[in-house]
Structures are given as C-alpha cells and as structure tokens.
Amino acid sequence: MTATPAKNKLTITAPADDPVIVLTREFDAPRELVFAAYTRPEHLRRWWGPSWVEMSACEIDLRLGGAWRYVFYKKPDGPPQTFKGVFQEIVPSERLVYTMIYDQPFLRDHPATVTQTFEQHGTRTLMMETIRHETFEFRDGHLHSGMEAGAAESLDQLEDVLKTMPTSLTLTRIFNAPRELVFKAWTERDRLRRWWGPKGFTNPVCNIDVRPGGAIEIHMRGPDGNVYPMKGEFREIEPPERLVFTAWAVGPNGEKMFEMLTTVRFADRGEKTEMHFETRAIMLTPDAAGPLAGMTQGWTESLERLKTEVER
C-alpha cells in the first residue's frame, strides 16, 4: 500500500519488502508544539484516539528507559485496552524512538518499535512515524485493524489542538490617557511593576534599563506564591511612539523555556491613545506549550491592569 503525501493530510505507506507502516502528516505549527502535543499527557489526552474511543489513563515518563501507557475503551462501555512501551531515544523536538505493545494475550510478547521524527519546514512541521513490526503478519494485522481511519481522525483532532496552542498574539486597546503617559507606563520601573502580569500577580523584582540593548528582569509572583522569572532586552525605543523588546521565561535550571519578540506602538487619538500590541515566539522548547496556552488570557488581564494604571 502506498500513498502520495499531501499537505495537512495523513498518508500511510506499507512497503511490500519491509514489515513497517509509515505515517506522514504535516501540521501548521512549530515542531516544538507538535512534539509537546505528543509527549505531554495534558495535550495528548485531547486528541489521541478516534471519536468512538475514550482514553481513561495517559502516563508518560519522558526519559530514556521511561515508560508510557495509554488505557482506553470503546464507547460506551467496552472493556479497557492498553498500549504501552518504553522510550529508547529522545531528542527534544526532533526525534522519539520507543517500543509499543498492544497488551492483548497474543500480542503482548511481540512489541513493535516506533520511530517519530519532527522536521521544521518554514512555519510547518512534517511528522513521520515509522512502526516496525516483527513480521508481515503482525504488520498487516495492525494495518487492517481500522488503524488508518483511527489515525486520520486522531491527527485531524491534533491539528485542532495545535490551533489552541498559540505562538503569536495581536491586541489593540484604546486608553483614555495621553500616549506619553501610556508610554511611561511601559518604560518607568514603578509604573511597570504595578500593572505587569495577570490579575492577582505582583512583581517583587522589576528592573529595566530603557535603552537599546538594555536588560529587562521581572519576577512575577502568582496568587499561589509561585514566582515566575523572566528576562529580556530592549531592541528599539522611539518615545513615545514605539517599543520593541525580547522577553524569555526562565526555567528552574536557568534555561530559556521560550523567547518572545514584542512590538508595541502608540498612536494619538485626540485625548486618547490607541496601543497596538504584537508578540510572537522566536524560540521555543517543548516546555513552552503549557505557558503559551495561557498567553491570550495573561496579556488580556495585564492590559486591563495597564488601563487601570493610566486612567486612574
């Protein structure tokens, strides 16, 4: 069985001379997010399996030798079934190799080996999954078990999930305040620390060096007491019209989780100011998926706090 790859559509190849099944699909998302959707239970639960199955357990220990396990049942009340395996190779955002066992009496002693690669092509990701079975009998049994329809529906659902994992955001706001004041709220330390961050957050550390190349360091403390440090750098400053800066979230070991490039423009509208805000990811890791999922809400709440700051 062979198929011709098509953008956004699943293709499946089963060569006559090799007991493998090869699935290929493009996604309109960076590979870091596609990788995260395959390796984070909170994302994978949302798309894995066709509509006629329900996943009841999803466990992933993403490390060499770490185990994974999915338990599902056919709706409405079918018996539980299990896929499981062990990770053999992990290259974050690029490659996964793991065993796969369908835990049924005849099959549990005959694991397949799955190799997945994630290739970035511009703004899109090409995912290739190669499932290697021990024999053609096992391969063909898997192929004719309804896998093609199930995989196609699952990956369509993954495409939808990826759309909810944003990597950019554009917002426009009108403030009842002069643009000089709105600009100062972004560039004066004491003003900035009062509004930066979502509702309920404070900024015990807020240091900014407002010049091209100047550093930004902000530690946001959430209502639960957790602190989320970020750093950045001013790229362009044109008072009171335009700001460009980078910002990156700092992980537990001091590493960058993701980096955003933000441009803010300020325009006079009589006695009011129109502010145009645009931010986009310029560097991502798989750990970015969770924080980025809350980007729209976070910035929306921050700009509401900015409105309070400049209009009080």
> pLDDT tens across 97-110, in order?
999 998 877 777 88
Q: What is the mean pLDDT of residues 219-245?
A: 96
Q: Could you tell me if residue 297 is inside a domain?
A: yes
Q: Which residue has the higher pLDDT, 92 or 67?
A: 67
Q: Is 260 in the same domain as 228?
A: yes
Find out whether 173 and 186 touch, Cβ atoms under 8 Å.
no
The answer to whether 292 and 270 are in contact (CB under 8 A) is no
Instruction: Note the pLDDT tens digit of each residue in 31-48.
Output: 888 998 999 898 899 999
- Domain identity same for 159 and 175: no
**Residue 36 corresponds to which tokens in the numbers above?**
């995260």
Same domain, 100 and 142: yes
Q: 298: pLDDT confidence band, cut at 50, 70 and 90?
A: very high
40 and 133 in one domain? yes
pTM of the model: 0.66
Query: Do residues 78 and 16 share a domain?
Result: yes
Q: Is residue 1 part of a domain?
A: no
CATH assignment of the domain containing 115: 3.30.530.20
pLDDT at 7 over 70: no
Considering the domain architecture, whether residues 224 and 102 belong to the same structural domain is answered as no
Which one of 163, 195, 224 terminates a domain?
A: 163
In a domain, 3, yes or no: no
HSE (side-chain half, CA atoms, 13 Å) at 203? 21
pLDDT at 40: 87
Listed residue (236, 226, 282) closest to 256, CA to CA: 282
Listed residues 117, 148, 163: the one ending a domain: 163
C-alpha 48/C-alpha 53 separation (Å) is 9
- By the 10 Å C-beta count (0-12 exposed, 13-18 middle, 19+ buried), 7 is classed as exposed
Mean pLDDT, the chain, rounded, equals: 92
What are the respective helix, strand and coil percentages of the chain, to the nearest 5?
Answer: 25, 45, 30
The answer to whether position 289 is within a domain reads: yes
Q: How many CA atoms lie within 13 A of 234 on its CB side?
A: 18
Q: What's the Cα-to-Cα distance from 279 to each of 117, 203, 243, 244, 282, rounded to whole Å? A: 29, 21, 12, 10, 10
pLDDT, tens only, 177-218: 999 999 999 999 999 999 999 999 999 999 999 999 999 999
Instruction: Check whether residue 85 and residue 146 sit in a common domain.
Output: yes
Write the pLDDT tens digit of every residue in 236-273.
999 999 999 999 999 888 888 889 999 999 999 999 99
Measure Cα distances from 295 to 40, 181, 230, 252 in Å.
18, 25, 14, 20
Is 2 within the bounds of a domain? no
On the question of pLDDT at 4 being above 50, the answer is no
- Do residues 89 and 174 share a domain? no
- Looking at the fold, whether 101 and 193 belong to one and the same domain comes out as no
3-state secondary structure of 104: coil
Residue after which a domain boundary falls, among 163, 188, 214:
163
- pLDDT given at position 8: 60
Same domain, 153 and 175: no
Q: Give 9's DSSP letter.
A: B
**Token pair listed for 302:** 């921050």
Q: What is the tally of structural domains in the chain?
A: 2
Residues 305 and 246 in one domain: yes
For residue 66, being part of any structural domain is answered with yes
Q: Are residues 42 and 90 in the same domain?
A: yes
Domain housing 96: 11-163
141-161, pLDDT tens digit by residue?
Answer: 999 888 999 999 999 999 998
